[in-house]
Amino acid sequence: MTRLTRAVTAELLPPLLAGTLLFTAVLSFGYFFISSQWLTGVPVTLIGRWIALQVPDTLVKVFPMAVVLMTVVAFGRMSTERELVAVQSGGISLGRVARPVGVVAALVTALAVWLSLWVAPRANVETRGLYWDGLTGAGLSQLVGKTVDLGAGLTLALGGYDPATRELKNVRVEKWSAEAGRRATLIFADAGTFENNLLSLRGYTVYTVDYAAAARLSAVPENDPAAFRAAVQDVFPSVVIPGAASDTLNVDTGLSRKQTLAAYADAIGADAQGWPELITALTAPDVRDAERQAARLNLNRKLALPFGNLVLALAALPFALRFGRTLGVSLGIALLIAVAYYLLFFVGLTVAAALPALPELGVWLANIVFAGAGLWLLRRT
């Protein structure tokens, strides 16, 4: 039986590795092709590093296709050459022969979960940072004219950005008080820099404004200057003006420069939430309901796709036994199964967005359907 396990595993690994390399290469070339017009003159080593940083996220996406290809090609060949018939005539069940498929798919699933929740989010942040700061040189130019949330209660607005010096122009920073909802600290600066998690601002002024006190100004008697001055002081409890124009104000941010680029530089933000961020969003007491719901959906999505490797190995097996007669047919069947799975997976995400009370039903829809279909087809094989 050990010899049989080794023989079946030897059939599975070559198509799994070949499929993984093939699909990863295709997607990586797609990333390069789409961005190639902005990469003129960029060193090849830097482009190679940029592509390499995208590999963890790409692997999570291509593993299901590779697992389908592995199952269809390996068992299709063994079925065509009557090897399965010979094994079963010796009293060994199909379930026992297929056990290595489950083991390999489980190992791929474990690897995909690790990549999805721990490796890919950090690599995605590095990818966006390298792209905007290293490859295109545009830096924070994409943020000009936007108001972005830097975490820690801070929002940032830029009037301009100089890519050559990495200098921010006409900066506005806001921070609203959690205790007093109508009190905010506003910082205006002529220039500054944003590196790592530190905003360094020059030519700045800082105003603490109480808008609730501003609403009470209309009730101050017009003939009482002292009361009016006191009321104005309540509106502006603190005003900080530096003694010299060269003075610098340092502000710690919740998001780093790379995380800010990952979240806001592109039309679609990078998938930068890993296990620590998602668990914090799900369990921390001060998280908004919308953020908690989004984290719940995202965590299920990051688990459902990796577990799709196990489901697709099961679903692909009956197709391999019935139709996997040649390599060309096997490739076609594998692609059809993978495309159908991904289409249903994305439909499930749409369903999950429409079912905020139970997003798991939509996210896991593809896995439920394909697992049920695979078991039903196996019973008829």
pLDDT in tens, 146-175: 999 998 889 999 999 999 999 999 999 999
* DSSP-assigned beta bridge partners for residue 252: 198
**Would you state the pLDDT for residue 85?**
66
* DSSP-assigned beta bridge partners for residue 193: 200
pLDDT in tens, 132-144: 999 999 999 999 9
pLDDT in tens, 243-271: 887 899 999 999 999 999 999 998 778 89
Give percent of the chain with pLDDT exceeding 90: 67
- Alpha-carbon span 212 to 194, nearest angstrom: 32
* Residue 324 pLDDT > 70: no
- Sequence-distant (6+) residues with CB within 8 A of 108 are 16, 63, 66, 67, 309
Let me know: does 324 contact 316? Beta carbons within 8 Å.
no
* Residue 127 pLDDT > 90: yes
* Residue 114 pLDDT > 60: yes
- Alpha-carbon span 209 to 187, nearest angstrom: 11
**Would you state the pLDDT for residue 33?**
83
- Alpha-carbon span 211 to 71, nearest angstrom: 65
In Å, how far from its chain's centre is CA 201? Answer: 31
* Residue 56 pLDDT > 90: yes
Pairing of strands 167-176, 147-151: unpaired
- Alpha-carbon span 295 to 286, nearest angstrom: 14
**Would you state the pLDDT for residue 88?**
67
311 — pLDDT class (breaks 50, 70, 90): very high
Average pLDDT value over all residues in the chain? 91
- Alpha-carbon span 348 to 343, nearest angstrom: 9
- Alpha-carbon span 273 to 263, nearest angstrom: 10
* Residue 1 pLDDT > 90: no
* DSSP-assigned beta bridge partners for residue 250: 200
**Would you state the pLDDT for residue 332?**
86
Average pLDDT over residues 52-64: 96
Q: Which residue has the higher pLDDT, 311 or 91?
A: 311
Q: What is the residue-wise DSSP string for 240-284? A: E--SSTT-EEEEE-SS-HHHHHHHHTSSS------HHHHHHHHH-
* Residue 113 pLDDT > 60: yes
Structure tokens at 172: 């506005």
**Would you state the pLDDT for residue 119?**
98
